[in-house]
């Protein structure tokens, strides 16, 4: 199973601009409610670069390929979506101790704390491009009202 992460584009200098990008804007919903903080990844079916987005509080998103909200190449894409919530049950003293351990050990790996609770908000099937069933075809003029509708069932 592929777990989605936003992947940086390799080989691009800081000043590089991509030509041919078009806007892709939309709204993502979970059970007909706008979904805030969802990580959305657009994987091209052909040779274009991938794009990604993070949804706002109202569920709105704008695709990014290289620079914030710069758009996406026209073409067909599979879509993957993730969102998790982390609840930290540690006391303030435990947080300070855990952070001190990281600093004292030169950022060495510290095992996950049992006091951290990680809960998937988006069902796992949407995390994988092949099982999500989500696709979009972006035309040469882009798409400005695209809706992604997820269900928790």
Residue 63, domain CATH:
2.60.40.10
In this prediction, residue 61 carries a pLDDT of 98
In this prediction, residue 16 carries a pLDDT of 58
Question: pLDDT: is 65 or 108 the higher one?
Answer: 65
- Co-location of 109 and 132 in the same domain: no
Residue 92 parent element (H or E): helix 92-104
At residue 51, does pLDDT exceed 90? yes
Beta bridge partners of 78: 43, 135
How wide is the angle at C-alpha 10 spanned by C-alphas 24 and 85, nearest 5°? 60
Question: pLDDT: is 5 or 83 the higher one?
Answer: 83
Confidence of residue 17 (pLDDT cuts 50, 70, 90): low
Q: Does 32 fall in a domain?
A: yes
Q: Does 8 fall in a domain?
A: no
Confidence of residue 5 (pLDDT cuts 50, 70, 90): very low
**96-138 pLDDT tens trace:** 776 665 555 544 454 556 677 888 999 999 999 999 999 999 9
Q: Looking at 26-35, 113-122, 136-145, which range is the least confident one? A: 113-122
> Token digits for 48?
């274009």
- Co-location of 41 and 100 in the same domain: no
- State how many domains the chain has: 2
Give the CA diameter of the chain: 55
The mean per-residue pLDDT over the stretch 14-41 comes to 90
Q: Does 18 fall in a domain?
A: no
Distances (CA, A) of 86 to 18, 31, 113, 114, 125: 35, 21, 12, 12, 20
Calculate the CA 115 to chain-centre distance.
Answer: 25
Question: pLDDT: is 85 or 16 the higher one?
Answer: 85
């Amino acid at each position: 199973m592929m777990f989605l992460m936003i992947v940086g584009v390799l080989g691009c200098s800081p000043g590089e601009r991509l030509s041919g990008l078009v806007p892709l804007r939309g709204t993502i919903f979970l059970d007909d409610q706008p979904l805030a903080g969802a990580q959305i990844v657009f994987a091209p079916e052909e040779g274009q670069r991938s794009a990604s987005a993070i949804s706002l509080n109202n569920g709105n998103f704008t695709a990014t390929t290289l620079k914030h909200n710069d758009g996406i190449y026209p073409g067909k894409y599979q879509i993957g979506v993730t969102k998790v919530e982390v609840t930290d049950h540690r006391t303030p003293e435990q947080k300070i101790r855990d952070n001190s351990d990281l600093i004292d050990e030169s950022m060495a790996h510290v095992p996950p704390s049992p006091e951290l609770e990680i809960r998937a908000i988006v069902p796992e099937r949407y995390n994988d491009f092949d099982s999500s069933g989500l696709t979009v075809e972006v035309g040469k003029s882009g798409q400005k009202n695209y809706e992604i509708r997820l269900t928790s069932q």
